[in-house]
Amino acid sequence: MHAREKGILTGARIMAALIAAGYMVLIPFGDGHKYDFVIDDEVSLRRVQCKTGRFRNGALLSCAYGKAGNGYAGVG
């Protein structure tokens, strides 16, 4: 599975869990946003950026940075 497909699957699983817990999930139109979706808990709106991780020795590991097309590596 390619990285983009893994990211889509991660986001879908997180959204499904939030919806099952009673939250409204808002998805932005288009690409290039600084967040993957927004959670509406009827009090406030919260931006969510999903990261794919894996469990190893009881800890969740995830890449903590990203690299933009211009070569700049920033904390994701």
pLDDT for residue 68: 57
For residues 58 and 46, give the distance between their C-alpha atoms in angstroms, rounded to a whole number.
28
CA-closest candidate to residue 45, choices 30, 26, 29: 26
- Which pTM was predicted? 0.68
Q: What backbone torsions phi and psi does residue 65 show, to the nearest 5 degrees?
A: -145, 165
For residues 65 and 19, give the distance between their C-alpha atoms in angstroms, rounded to a whole number.
28
Domains and CATH numbers, the chain: 3-75 (3.40.1350.10)
pLDDT for residue 40: 94
Provide the residue-wise pLDDT of the chain in tens; the chain has 76 residues.
787 888 888 889 999 999 999 999 999 998 888 899 999 999 999 999 888 877 788 877 776 666 555 554 444 4
